[in-house]
């Protein structure tokens, strides 16, 4: 199979760029919603775990309070029994022994009551935190539901088109040689707008808008080699080839008129792609 011409390689790259740019537009339409939904789901999971632990702590503290209440009731019952036994003592030894038991039970009750007050204060604080956590959880759940609805609406509108475009992108990538594809992917990843292949617009790079020397524009139009902008590294192609490439795409896009270029000035330099790496060449005085 004969090797493709530079013009054909540029058209293939430009075609891939247009497809990927449409995919990028869909991602922009989704915006930060996928990330926001994921973050909210993580936050809600954390809040649910926290609420569960707080509820467990409150239950355990209430169980302790119940045990102290039971101990207090038992102590009061013993006090009542020992008090009734005081009327039946036969000697001082029994009397002193009962009084000692009464004193110990009263001290236990004081200790139990102190512990219950401390526990109830702790429970009140935990319940307050739990209530705040539940309120925040409810708020975040509503926010998540809203975000999911927004995201699902966008996905429903764009899912079919996105799948189609991604298949087209994979198909288009197979037509491009590996070294150019690696260079293309690297450039796309370097810029937020994802533009790796641009046309010369009004004597300037369509990506960074720096001026392209007339001699460089002539070399681009001659299609003898693939050149890159010496300022931003994006792959350059002449407007006419870009217009032809757009006209050949389905669905067709509106094409701008080819830009007239002046070829009288001395070039400042060019950049050439070799092995997937950009090298600046052709500097003249």
pLDDT at 155: 82
Instruction: Provide the whole-model pTM.
Output: 0.52
Q: What is the model's pLDDT at position 140?
A: 95
Mean pLDDT by 10 residues, the chain (285 residues): 82 91 85 86 95 96 96 94 86 89 94 95 96 95 92 82 90 91 92 90 91 91 90 89 65 35 35 42 33
Q: What is the pLDDT of residue 157?
A: 77
Cβ-defined contacts of 133-140 (< 8 Å, 24+): 133/47, 133/50, 133/51, 133/54, 134/51, 136/47, 137/44, 137/47, 137/48, 137/51, 140/40, 140/43, 140/44, 140/47
Report pLDDT for 3.
80
Which residue's structure tokens are 């739990």? 130
| Ordered domains of the chain (ranges, CATH) | 6-26+178-281 (no CATH), 31-172 (1.10.287.1700)
pLDDT at 1: 55
Rounded (10°) angle between helices 178-190 and 6-30: 40
Task: Answer yes or no: are the C-beta atoms of 210 and 198 closer than 8 Å.
Answer: no
| Cα distance between residue 203 and residue 211, in whole Å | 6
Q: What is the pLDDT of residue 209?
A: 92
């Amino acid at each position: 199979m004969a090797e493709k011409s530079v013009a054909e390689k540029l058209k293939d790259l430009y075609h891939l760029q247009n497809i990927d740019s449409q995919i990028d537009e869909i991602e922009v339409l989704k915006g930060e919603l996928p990330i926001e939904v994921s973050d909210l789901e993580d936050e809600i999971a954390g809040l649910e775990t926290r609420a569960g632990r707080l509820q467990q702590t409150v239950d355990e503290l209430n169980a302790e309070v119940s045990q102290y209440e039971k101990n207090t009731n038992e102590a009061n019952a013993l006090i009542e029994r020992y008090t009734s036994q005081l009327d039946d003592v036969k000697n001082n030894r029994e009397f002193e022994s009962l009084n000692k038991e009464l004193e110990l039970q009263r001290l236990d009750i004081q200790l139990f009551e102190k512990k219950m007050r401390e526990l109830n204060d702790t429970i009140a604080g935990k319940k307050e935190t739990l209530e705040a956590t539940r309120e925040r959880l409810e708020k975040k759940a509503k926010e998540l539901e809203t975000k999911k609805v927004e995201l699902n609406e966008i996905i429903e509108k764009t899912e079919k088109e996105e799948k189609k475009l991604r298949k087209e992108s994979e198909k288009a990538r197979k037509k491009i040689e590996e070294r150019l594809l690696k260079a293309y992917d690297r450039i796309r990843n370097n810029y937020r707008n994802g533009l790796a292949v641009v046309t010369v617009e009004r004597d300037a790079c369509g990506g960074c808008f720096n001026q392209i020397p007339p001699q460089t524009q002539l070399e681009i139009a001659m299609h003898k080699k693939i050149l890159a902008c010496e300022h931003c590294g994006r792959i350059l192609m002449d407007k006419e080839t870009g217009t032809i490439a757009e006209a050949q795409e389905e669905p067709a896009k509106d094409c701008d008129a080819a830009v007239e270029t002046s070829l009288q000035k001395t070039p400042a330099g060019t950049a050439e792609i070799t092995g997937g790496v950009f090298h600046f060449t052709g500097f003249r005085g």
